[in-house]
Amino acid sequence: MGDQRSPRWLMFDSWYVCMLVGVRARTLGAKDDLEDAEFNPIYPDDYKPQADFIAGLLIDAELDRKGINVADKASVEREMILLLDPQKTTGLSEIGVELLNRYAVAGFAKLDEVMLPPATVEEMLVRYAGVWTGGED
């Protein structure tokens, strides 16, 4: 039984690129558009070292989306308490996970709007880079 490696492109990768677009645009998708089943209670191994980065992206997006001034330490702390749960493997509370998923829904909608369906992962990445660098949001 040799070293079992994960596929090069995971479903999580797709979620991640959609989440990045949604977070960048500071746009939440509709709660009704979320999948009923829990998507991923933990990050895949390749993403585990990025848990703090992902949490930071969420906090930054939520502070900006809600118009919270980072100098208002009490409001920032309230937001962090709402979004984070250090007991979870992702470091996010249930609300934090839901919001990240809603950002991914919005990101998917944006990508669906501006990109033709790609035939390969490579083609999708090239088109994604074009959307990202073209400032389409």
Walk along the chain (137 residues) in steps of 10 and give the mean pLDDT of each run.
52 90 95 77 88 96 97 98 95 95 94 85 85 68
pLDDT at 40: 66
33 belongs to a structural domain: yes
| Contact of 86 with 98, CB cutoff 8 Å | no
pLDDT at 8: 54
pLDDT at 39: 63
Q: Residue 89 is part of which domain span? A: 9-133
What digits encode the pLDDT tens for the residues 71-93? 999 999 999 999 999 999 899 99
Spatial distance between the Cα atoms of 108 and 94, rounded to a whole number of angstroms: 21
1 belongs to a structural domain: no
4 belongs to a structural domain: no
Q: Residue 89 has which token pair? A: 């493997």
Spatial distance between the Cα atoms of 45 and 70, rounded to a whole number of angstroms: 32
pTM of the entire structure?
Answer: 0.84
Domains identified in the chain, total number:
1
Q: Give every CB contact of residue 104 below 8 A, 6+ residues apart in sequence.
A: 15, 18, 19, 22, 29
Q: Give every CB contact of residue 88 below 8 A, 6+ residues apart in sequence.
A: none
62 belongs to a structural domain: yes
25 belongs to a structural domain: yes
